[in-house]
């Protein structure tokens, strides 16, 4: 293992030296010396007196307007290169161990389940029925431009070649020079269609290869351990997307955009399948075939090529037809492949024939990989979810009821709303009038529903309602879908986001399940989305996490009693403040029984690239997901003890009180937040297609959860992830609950996961850096609040160490601790420089300063390995 770590250090050194040569050739030796001087000061300042820290700050404050941008770029690009080296190191470990970690994870789980009395048939049945739906979202947290990501991928590939002993220095210098001469920051925000194409690119470049590898691995382990096989057409994992469908607060996602993205998904799938079929046709040149295939191909001398040639023609016709349609040319959708069997049956026919003809080893190659891809990706690669805010649906019904002179829908109470909606759902006459000219906002909602009606069921996932709180929010969407001609029973999913909504989730769903019409509509399957981001922003991370746990428990018990299958859709982000954390740990930390072979979870922004952007790492994450869901389904953990619940209730109340008293009631909080963080400047960073605020003129309350967390992360205070938690833990410890807390940490996966995530985020925080932002940017009267916040943070650190019985944070996780320590000398100058740039830009705006400021944001994000 030490040799592997040495290889990582060597990669970082090689890349750093190449970057140094690039900077020297472009900006001169003196500039390189200045960068190295700043880096050494930053490294020394971590363990030195105030004099060294002052020297670092002085060196950065003395930079001219012409120097700030290249200095910011130097440290940002080094952090990006360090990330590449680290990701390549994870791949290298995979190959050094020959994938043993993935095999061991599956093997040990299967053996344990078998030892607990779960037979092979039961385990296989669970995998057959399992649905792990990973939902790719375009939440604006991917800082890097796509063109740079492609160059980073090329560097990773070059490092692989270097491991094989090839001479690659010239190519590395080329790539790093290309990166240096490319703007890090997009000139414009990506469009929703561009975001969708980025999602398709992740599938094409990584998941297309990773999925059959993962399914083959799972099949091998089942055969080896339990003497059973994973059916070819079974995939426990599938993918959905919000890219081009998530219109909540994003005016750029229109009905036309959604329609285009749905067609692009079908085009991309047809294109990828056509390429695979073409390659497969080249391989299957055999003449021996069973009677079924010979009959189907009229005894063609090369029957496999004949059947695959026909399929290839159909795929080409589909691809060309969609392309014509998108470009406004005549096209007949009836000629496109529109049923999965049209794609699958010719391949299964070839598979049966090869096995019948004694060529099973050939069947088990590229042909099986393609069949397994189809099992996962279907005809569209992803199913597109639609998301809209409940207020927009209310606006439609306000317009309709006023048109019919029935009053104002939004003024009615819940009983009146439900009665009206159910009456209309059972009515045979149209609700939407023919001669009606609604507002553009209302028309957009109706147009979106018509797009849903015009597209096949397999293209679409769920219709998610943000800020849902009442049964009428769900019934209203179903009525709109029915009115525009949606004939299938599309899943309509309430998203419970605030703490009050989470606490009310059970009552809301129970009211729905008491409606006979609704019970018939859902056909025994209820999906509910749990919001992590806004609940944390609303009540603090501790109260939100416990509220999410309680809501899932209540919903699980309700649906079990009502004999309705429940799918929980977890709206997690990449950061702790948005429900982030290791997927395997998070799944096992859910309430027992809540993961019953069914799980949906969002994968957002930069986390998509980190978890699925490289095939080997994607296989690892797919394995972790599947193993965790299998374990949580067949071997759920214990129920929490009554005294644990009592203490959690007390701690959550304490944490929420402290959090809200500061964030909502402290008059200096908003001025402090806006003074010391780059919150207002963040809006200039073109991260994604969605605006940073729900309302242009809104305050902190209208700020989306992502920029809320991004802003605090930039100054290393990390406030949303811990505020309130420290006070709650202190209260419990002061009340003599330390032995109980130790027991909870050792025996309760939920509490253990929460403490470990809190520890990780506290390890990334830095009171000295946040104090410097305050000193440079805030007025002295705001310093009292800042000092209080830093004191609370340090208090939280001590309490976590006490509960974990550690001398330092991350004592048991040297990998993350070393990763943070290695990056600090490169992140620290960016923090100091960012504070300086914020000061200058706020007092005397300058285009050069603004560009450099955005680069520091990107660099700090790269160094922290998360943004929002």
**Dihedral of alpha carbons 539, 540, 542, 546, sign:** positive
- As a whole number of angstroms, the distance between CA 56 and CA 43 comes to 10
Residue reference for tokens 């040319």:
329
Q: At what angle do helices 725-734 and 783-804 cross, to 10 degrees?
A: 60
Q: Is 139 a catalytic residue?
A: yes
Would you say 589 and 620 are in contact if contact means Cβ atoms under 8 Å apart? no
* Cα 383 from chain centre: 16
Per the DSSP assignment, residues forming a β-bridge with 494 are: 465
Query: CA-to-CA distance for 188 and 638, rounded, in angstroms?
Result: 50
**CA–CA–CA angle 285, 287, 292 (5° rounding):** 115
The single residue of 537, 570, 584, 764 carrying the catalytic annotation is 537
| CA atoms of 532 and 609, how far apart (whole Å) | 21
Tracing tokens 């908003």 back to the chain, one arrives at 670
Q: CA-CA distance, 259 to 261, in Å (whole number)?
A: 6
245 phi and psi angles, rounded to 5 deg:
-120, -20
Read off the tokens for 434: 């023919």
Catalytic residue among 88, 89, 139, 351: 139
Region at 567 (left for phi over 0; alpha for psi -120 to 50; beta for the rest): beta
Chain-centre distance of CA 249, in angstroms?
18
**Residues 372 and 238: beta-carbon distance below 8 Å:** no
**Is 38 within 8 Å of 70 (Cβ atoms)?**
no
> Is the CB of residue 584 less than 8 Å from the CB of residue 628?
yes
Q: How far is CA 832 from CA 362, 686, 786, in A?
A: 60, 23, 17
Interacting residues of 25 by C-beta distance below 8 A, sequence separation 6+: none
The CA–CA distances, whole Å, from 797 to 571, 648, 751, 768 equal: 28, 19, 16, 14
* Core vs surface per residue 679-695: b (16+ CB within 10 A) or e: bebbeebbbbbbbbbbe
491, β-bridge pairs: 462
Q: Give 712-754 as a DSSP string.
A: HHHTT--HHHHTTHHHHHHHHHHTT-HHHHHHHHHH-HHHHHH
Tokens of 864: 């922290």
- Residues serving a catalytic function are 139, 537
């Amino acid at each position: 293992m030490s040799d592997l770590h040495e290889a990582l250090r060597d990669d970082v050194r090689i890349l750093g030296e190449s970057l140094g040569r690039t900077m020297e050739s472009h900006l001169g030796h003196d500039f390189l010396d200045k960068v190295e001087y700043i880096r050494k000061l930053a490294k020394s300042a971590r363990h030195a007196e105030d004099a060294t820290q002052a020297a670092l700050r002085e060196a950065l404050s003395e930079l001219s307007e012409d120097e700030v941008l290249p200095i910011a770029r130097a440290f940002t690009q080094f952090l990006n290169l360090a990330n590449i080296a680290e990701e390549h190191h994870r791949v290298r470990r995979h190959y050094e161990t020959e994938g043993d970690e993935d095999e061991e994870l599956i093997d040990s789980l299967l053996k344990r389940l078998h030892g607990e009395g779960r037979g092979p048939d039961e385990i296989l049945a669970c995998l057959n029925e399992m649905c792990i739906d990973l939902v790719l979202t375009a939440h604006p947290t991917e800082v890097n431009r796509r063109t740079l990501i492609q160059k980073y991928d090329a560097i990773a590939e070059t490092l692989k070649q270097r491991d094989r002993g090839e001479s690659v220095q010239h190519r590395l210098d080329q790539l790093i020079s290309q990166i240096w001469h490319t703007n890090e920051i997009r000139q414009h925000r990506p469009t929703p269609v561009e975001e969708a194409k980025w999602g398709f690119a992740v599938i094409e470049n990584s998941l297309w290869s990773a999925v059959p590898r993962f399914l083959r691995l799972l099949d091998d382990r089942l055969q080896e351990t339990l003497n059973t096989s994973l059916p070819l057409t079974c995939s426990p994992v599938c993918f959905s997307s919000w890219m081009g469908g998530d219109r909540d607060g994003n005016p750029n996602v229109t009905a036309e955009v959604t329609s285009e993205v749905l067609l692009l998904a079908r085009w991309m799938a047809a294109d990828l399948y056509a390429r695979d079929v073409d390659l497969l046709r080249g391989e299957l040149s055999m003449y021996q075939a069973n009677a079924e295939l010979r009959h189907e191909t009229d005894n063609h001398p090369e029957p496999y090529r004949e059947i695959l040639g026909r399929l290839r023609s159909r795929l080409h016709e589909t691809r060309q037809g969609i392309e014509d349609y998108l470009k406004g040319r005549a096209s007949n959708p009836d000629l496109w492949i529109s049923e999965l069997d049209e794609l699958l049956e010719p391949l299964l026919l070839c598979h049966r024939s090869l096995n019948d003809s004694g060529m099973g080893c050939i069947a088990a190659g590229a042909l099986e990989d393609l069949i397994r891809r189809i099992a996962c990706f279907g005809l569209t690669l992803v199913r597109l979810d639609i998301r809209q805010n409940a207020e927009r649906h209310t606006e439609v019904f306000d317009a309709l009821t006023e048109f019919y002179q029935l009053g104002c829908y939004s003024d009615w109470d819940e009983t009146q709303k439900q009665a009206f909606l159910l009456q209309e759902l059972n009515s045979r006459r149209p609700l939407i009038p023919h001669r009606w000219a609604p507002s553009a906002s209302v028309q957009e909602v109706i147009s979106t529903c018509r797009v849903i009606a015009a597209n096949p069921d397999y293209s679409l996932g769920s219709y998610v309602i943000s800020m849902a709180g009442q049964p009428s929010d769900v019934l209203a969407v179903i009525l709109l879908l029915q009115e525009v001609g949606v004939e299938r029973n599309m899943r309509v999913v309430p998203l419970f986001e605030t703490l009050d909504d989470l606490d009310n989730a059970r009552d809301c769903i129970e009211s729905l399940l008491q409606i006979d019409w609704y019970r018939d509509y859902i056909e025994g399957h209820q999906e509910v989305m749990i919001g992590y981001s806004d609940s944390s922003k609303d009540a603090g991370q501790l109260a939100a996490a416990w509220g999410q746990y309680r809501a899932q428990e209540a919903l699980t018990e309700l649906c079990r009693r009502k004999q309705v299958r429940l799918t929980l859709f977890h709206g997690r982000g990449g950061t702790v403040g948005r429900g982030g954390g290791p997927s395997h740990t998070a799944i096992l930390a859910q309430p027992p029984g809540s993961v019953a072979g069914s799980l949906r979870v969002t994968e957002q922004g930069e986390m998509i690239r980190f978890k699925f952007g490289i095939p080997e790492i994607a296989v690892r994450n797919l394995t972790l997901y599947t193993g965790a869901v299998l374990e949580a389904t067949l071997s759920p953990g214990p129920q929490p003890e009554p005294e644990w619940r009592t203490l959690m209730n007390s701690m959550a109340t304490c944490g929420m009180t402290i959090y809200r008293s500061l964030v909502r009631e402290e008059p200096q909080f908003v001025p402090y937040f806006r003074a010391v963080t780059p919150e207002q400047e963040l809006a200039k960073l073109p991260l994604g297609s969605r605006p940073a605020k729900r309302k242009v003129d809104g305050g902190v309350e209208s700020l989306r959860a992502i920029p809320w967390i991004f802003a605090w992360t930039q100054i290393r205070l990390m406030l949303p992830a811990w505020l309130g938690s420290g006070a709650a833990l202190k209260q419990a410890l002061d009340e003599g609950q330390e032995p109980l807390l130790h027991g909870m940490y050792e025996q309760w996966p939920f509490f253990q996961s929460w403490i470990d995530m809190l520890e990780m985020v506290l390890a990334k925080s830095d009171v000295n850096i946040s104090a410097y932002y305050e000193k440079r940017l805030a007025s002295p009267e705001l310093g009292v609040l800042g000092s209080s916040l830093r004191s609370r943070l340090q208090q939280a650190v001590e309490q976590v160490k006490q509960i974990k019985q550690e001398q330092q944070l991350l004592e048991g996780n040297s990998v993350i601790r070393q990763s943070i320590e290695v990056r600090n000398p490169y992140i620290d100058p960016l923090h100091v420089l960012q504070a300086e740039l914020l000061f200058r830009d706020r007092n005397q705006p300058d285009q050069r300063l603004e560009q450099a400021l955005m680069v520091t944001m990107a660099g700090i994000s790269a160094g922290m390995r998360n943004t929002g």
